[in-house]
Amino acid sequence: MNTSTTSLAVERVRHTLLVRRLRVQRIEPVSAHFLCVRFAGDALRDFVSASFDDHTKLMLPAQPGLPLVLPEPGPDGMALPPGADKPAMRDYTPRRFDRAAGTLDIEFVLHGEGVASSWAQAARPGDEVGLGGPRGSFVVPTGFDWHLLIGDETALPAIARRLEELPETAQAITVIETQDPADRRALASRARLQTHWVQTGATDALAQAVAGLRLPAGEGFAWAGGEAASIAAARQALVNRHGLDKARVRASAYWKRGSVGHHGAIED
């Protein structure tokens, strides 16, 4: 494949920050520990998600049974009405957006007693949520010779979306860690796909699998998302073991052991 510096330039795109009120339209199981919740609402008419790893802020009632109160625009930006309880907030990837139908799918990992996980398990059509963002997008071109996608269960929605978006000319490699083999799903893609499943074990199980890869020749881009320490180790393997330029690696912590609501980029 012929590539050029211009065609491989990563683009950062900013979006107007909006908070939308949506309703649950449908809930469907995806695998043993995944649910896909479809949201709908007129507020989605101008929704934009330009990248597979965008994150939106899902807003839920402060306590089950309480009304959902959302931030509103004011002179100093978005703010809650005086005296209102702050909604519970968690970051989620837009899995699939259908502009024509006016629907947005988000996948939830069912992992015990987390606020969003518990909400998803109890969700019913008609339930209201708030959705903030995405505030911006990190757009990775599809023209790389190869694309490496790494993550645990929390990154599966982003990985699945990226694979569906890649063209038939692309080559994709995935390394995905799961606790339960029942969550290992068939991944649809037009790209030439090589998939490696990793069983959760030692903290560095994902990094060891990444270090053991034989990467293709040519220009590539690596993306990784998941638990903070695990993804930091995987990023280190990409840079130190495989010699990837740091500019060709994007790594994000989707969660962190011992922390609630953690999300952030992993860099030096």
CATH number of domain containing 216: 3.40.50.80
The CATH number of whichever domain residue 28 belongs to comes to: 2.40.30.10
| pLDDT at 89 exceeding the cut of 50 | yes
| pLDDT at 260 exceeding the cut of 70 | no
Between 165 and 76, the more confident residue is 165
Q: Residue 112 has what pLDDT?
A: 72
The pLDDT > 90 percentage for the chain reads: 81
Count CB neighbours of 227 within 10 A: 24
- Domain hosting residue 110, numbered range: 13-136
Q: Residue 2 has what pLDDT?
A: 46
41 near 20, Cβ under 8 Å? yes
Beta strands in 93-244 (DSSP E): 96-98, 103-109, 128-132, 136-139, 146-151, 171-178, 192-199, 220-227
Q: Residue 254 has what pLDDT?
A: 93
Domain boundary (116, 136, 156) is at 136
Same-domain check for residues 227 and 209: yes
| pLDDT at 4 exceeding the cut of 50 | no
Residue 44 within any structural domain of the chain = yes
Virtual torsion, Cα 142, 205, 108, 140, nearest 10 deg: -20
Same-domain check for residues 152 and 131: no
Domains: count for the chain: 2
Residue-wise pLDDT for 207-251, tens only, equals: 999 999 999 999 999 999 999 999 999 999 999 999 999 999 999
Same-domain check for residues 257 and 191: yes
Choose among 173, 211, 215: nearest CA to 193.
Answer: 173
What number of residues does the chain have? 268
